[in-house]
Amino acid sequence: MSATHEVAAPQADPACTEETPSAACGGQVSYAISRVARMHRAAAGRLLRGSGLYPGQEFVMMHLWDAGAVRQSELIKAVELDPSTVTKMLQRLEQAGHVRRRPDPGDGRAVLVEATEDSCGLH
């Protein structure tokens, strides 16, 4: 007794439209992931704007709410961003009253970053 397998004729992939680059139609999963990431970032940006935050700052705040005061160098590692990007984020967050930076009492060269009481409303 032999089993026969019928192969269905390829159907048009709804993910591959005229707007989709032809090279992406061979790798729909990776294209879809990058597209979802872009759409998520845009949607998050619109929602964050209402809270006075910029995209990416929410990850800094979430880490600070969970971890409490941390060294700035540890925060940079935790959010996996460029140090200059995190420094700029912290400057904006500090100006908005969401974070506070202070010298680490255990190491005068290090800076501690913590969420302020005012930022709890964002949480």
With a cut of 70, which residues of the chain have pLDDT below it?
1-27
pTM: 0.67
Amino acid found at 92: R
For the CA atoms of the chain, what is the radius of gyration?
A: 23
Q: Is 55 exposed, middle or buried (0-12, 13-18, 19+ CB in 10 A)?
A: middle
Predicted confidence at residue 31, as pLDDT, reads: 81
d(CA 111, CA 69): 10
Predicted confidence at residue 9, as pLDDT, reads: 47
CB 95 within 8 Å of CB 113: no
